[in-house]
Amino acid sequence: EPEVTQTPSHQVTQMGQEVILRCVPISNHLYFYWYRQILGQKVEFLVSFYNNEISEKSEIFDDQFSVERPDGSNFTLKIRSTKLEDSAMYFCASREDRGDEQYFGPGTRLTVT
């Protein structure tokens, strides 16, 4: 069964460094999402992406964040200058054109020290 994959599974970085989290959505899906979950808190929406542009973003998704679909398979989330409060589990999800279900990847645990 097709699945969403994410790399790396765990990323440790120092405050102020740039990180790129990578996702490979399911191949025929057209809608892409990033969510995050800070330890002990709710899963929060960050951004949705469709037709090579951001379709919606939350107030969390400020100028430090960016997303890109650099080729036909990858979907990336970049954090330009990480802060301690960016430490969280980041989930990528994708959805097909006429579907309701978002398929989630296993997540990348980002630890900022």
Binding site for another protein (CB under 8 A): 4, 31, 33, 35, 41-45, 48, 50, 55-56, 58, 91, 93, 95, 100-107
- Compute and round to an integer the Cα radius of gyration of the chain: 13
| Angstrom distance (rounded) from CA 64 to CA 20 | 12
Q: Closest CB to another protein among 15 and 43?
A: 43
Q: Closest CB to another protein among 14 and 27?
A: 27
**Shortest Å, Cβ 101 to another protein:** 5
Q: Any idea what DSSP says for residue 80?
A: S
| Angstrom distance (rounded) from CA 50 to CA 13 | 29
Task: Give φ, ψ of 15 to 5 degrees.
Answer: -50, 135
**Shortest Å, Cβ 16 to another protein:** 29
**Shortest Å, Cβ 17 to another protein:** 25
**Shortest Å, Cβ 55 to another protein:** 4
Q: Closest CB to another protein among 5 and 17?
A: 5
The distance in angstroms from the start CA to the end CA of the chain is: 37
